[in-house]
Structure 1
Amino acid sequence: MTQFTLSAFADEASPEFDRQIAALHRKHISLMEIRGVDGKGILDLTDEELDVVEKKLAAGNIGISAIGSPIGKIGIEDDFAPHFEKFKRAVEIAKKLHTTRIRMFSFYIPEGKNPEIYHDTVIERIQKMVDYGEANGVHCCHENEKGIYGDTLKRVEKLHKAIPALRCVFDPANYIQCGDDPAVNFKALAPIIDYMHIKDALFKDGSVVPAGEGDGSVPSILKTLAETGKPYMLTLEPHLYDFSGLQNLQGEDVLHKRVYKDADEAFDVASDALHDILKTIE
């Protein structure tokens, strides 16, 4: 059986970096996919602020699994040059925080337009980022998300076939919100999945629920991954509460059914759901 390594978007527990580290300790999670720090997006931190982050991570014995960047979350018709500069900054931050992964996306498609019109432009832009990242020892990890080019199985497969060095992040809830079946997509993408976001949702309205309570087939997917015997990283992305860094998601749908007293409680519920699933397959 596989030994899963756990990570999390800890900014969903609190905007305060110290409390993010505390939440990870509380739930026995040793890694963070870093996205928001003290109310600022990770790519907006100064060198001095990154020095503080690095010291706090070391003191808390927390590693960085990936830079949870918003790279690729611009319109495909927007100017790419300044965005590529942001990507280069993301690479420098990844190196400073000792991670080899940058989570990224494949550009928003104008509403009503056929995404295939933009196929070549998407490939050209992502290839440029992948080449730059790989030359610097950093991997681009593409997450499927509603509204971008790579939001459904067919186009995700096209991306990875065209750019073999592009890594695959599998997010079940995002596929549900696009009308795709995560169980079907998992079977197709399993050989190339680099890591997985633990986020579940309901087909009927796209609302996010704790892992195992939705239609994302999360328990069966994790059981299949465990049976491969390969090491896998699971990154908890709760999305159960309107956390303060929500604006950094840039239009991402966040629908949820339950009410929690605060972000910490929602983070704990999401974490407990994942731990409960893992107990059944260990």
Structure 2
Amino acid sequence: MTAWTLTGFGDEIDPDPGVQLAVLSALGARHIEVRSAWRTNVVELSDEQLDALAAAIDGRDMAVSAIASPVGKVDVTTEDGGELVRLRAAVAAAHRLGSRYIRIFSFYRPAELTAAEIRDAVLTRMRAFADLAESADVVLVHENEKDIYGDVPERVADIVESVGSPALRVAWDNANFVQVGVRPYDDGYALLRPHLEYLQVKDAVMATGTVVPAGHGDGQLVRTLTALRDDGYTGFASLEPHLTSQHELGGFSGPAEFGRAARAFTDLTTSIGVRLQ
């Protein structure tokens, strides 16, 4: 049976890492994706906080699947090098917490500019990100967040293929594609599968953009997951439910709703013969 590694955004559960880890463990996960702890973003955690977080994770005999950084979630026309500073902080967190992956984004743009008009600026910055990642021996996974340059499959492919670095890969998110009018499997799977390294799990309703548990929306989750199974995917599947609230820097679900999201995803994977471990 095909096996994928279950993980999830801890701060979707609770601000306290102890609660985050307890809930994930109860759901059968042995990994956590770190976006924030104690209401502090991962790129702003002090050395002492990173040490405390590492100790808590080790104490649960768990590991970190990815650093869910906010790098690249700024207007590209106002970016003055601060994102490289934040990426260095994310790299330090990845090294301290033993993670190979760091999530990043590809910049917002002002309303008066088209995606084509910011392309060169985006690619210049993404190349710099990849250079840093290569030297630091980490892998950046670009999330297709709505309203950034890489929010549709064609521009995600443009970023990864134009930069051409083994340190820049794709974090696939069905719900985010739905929220920009994309049918994830039909419109993007074949194009992006060669670059797909990391799976983020949530779903959404096309008509409203509302985020729902996996399989309850228009994200073509069953078709996507079945194709990944058949293609031999064996990586992480990271729960990011956003069932209670969502905002520019993330979302929240709480323990009960996070559990509901986990059960919905488990039902889907069980139905196609994929085991979560």
Verify same fold: TM over 0.5: yes
- Normalising to structure 1: TM-score of the pair? 0.92
Q: Which residue in 2 is equivalent to 1:59? A: 59
- In structure 2, the residue matched to 1:270 is 261
- 2:85 alignment counterpart: 85
* 1:206 match: secondary structure: coil
Give the drift of 1:151: 0.5
1:232 to 228, 232, 235: 235
2:7 maps to which residue? 7
Looking at structure 2, the residues matched to 80 and 6 of structure 1 have their Cα atoms a distance apart, in angstroms, of: 37
Count of aligned residue pairs for this structure pair: 270
- After TM superposition, give the deviation of residue 268 of structure 1 in Å: 0.4
Residue-by-residue CA offset, 1:209-246 (whole Å, 9 max, x unaligned): 1100111111221111112234121111111013xxx6
Instruction: From 158, 162, 171, give the equivalent of 2:173.
Output: 171
Q: Distance in 1 between matches of 2:261 and 2:155?
A: 29
The alignment status of 1:69 with 2:69, answered yes or no, reads yes
Number of the residue aligned with 1:259: none
Asked if structure 2 preserves the Cα contact closer than 8 Å seen for 1:225 and 1:232, the reply is: no
Q: Describe the superposition over 1:35-79 as per-residue Cα deviations: whole angstroms up to 9, x where unpaired.
A: 010111111110011100011100011111110000000100113
Question: Partner letter of residue 172 of structure 2?
Answer: F
The one-letter code sitting in structure 2 at the alignment partner of 1:169 is A
TM-score, normalised relative to structure 2: 0.93
Aligned runs of 1:66-215 on 2, under 5 Å?
66-165=66-165, 166-184=168-186, 185-215=188-218
Find the aligned partners of 1:140 and 1:228 in 2 and give their Cα distance: 22
Provide the secondary structure at the position in 2 that maps to 1:7. strand
Structure 2 unaligned segments of length 5 or more: list them.
none
2:144–2:151: 8 Å Cα contact kept in structure 1? yes
Runs of 5+ in structure 1 lacking a partner? 257-261
Deviation readout 1:7-58 (Å, 9 max, x if unpaired): 1012111111100001101100111110010111111110011100011100
More strand by share: 2
- Paired residue for 1:49? 49
- Which digits, 9 at most, give the CA deviation of each residue in 1:244-282, with x for residues without a partner? xx66x43x6x7x9xxxxx711110000000111111112
Shift of 1:153: 1.4
Deviation at 1:187, TM superposition (A): 2.4
Cα distance between partner residues in 1 of 2:132 and 2:210: 36
State the superposition RMSD in angstroms: 1.5
Measured after TM superposition, the shift of residue 188 of structure 1 is 1.9
- Cα separation, 2, equivalents of 1:61 and 1:40: 23
3-state DSSP of counterpart to 2:217 = coil
Question: 8 Å contact 1:94–1:101 — kept in the other structure?
Answer: yes
Q: How far apart are the structure 1 equivalents of 2:140 and 2:198? A: 12
Q: Structure 2: which amino acid aligns with 1:15?
A: P
- Structure 1 range deviating more: 99-108 or 220-229: 220-229
SS of residue matched to 2:103: strand
SS across alignment from 1:150: coil
Structure 1 residue ranges (4+ consecutive) displaced by more than 3 angstroms after TM superposition: none
* SS of structure 2 residue aligned to 1:3: strand
Contact 1:2 1:227 in 2 (8 A): no
Distance 1:211 1:128, change over 3 A: same
Check conservation: 2:44, 2:89, Cα contact below 8 A: no
Mapped pair 1:24 → 2:24 = yes
1:152 and 1:80, CA in 2 relative to 1: closer, same or farther beyond 3 A?
same
Q: Is the 8 A contact 2:144 2:150 kept in 1?
A: yes
Aligned-residue sequence identity (percent) comes to 33
Whole-Å separation in 2 of the counterparts to 1:220 and 1:30: 26
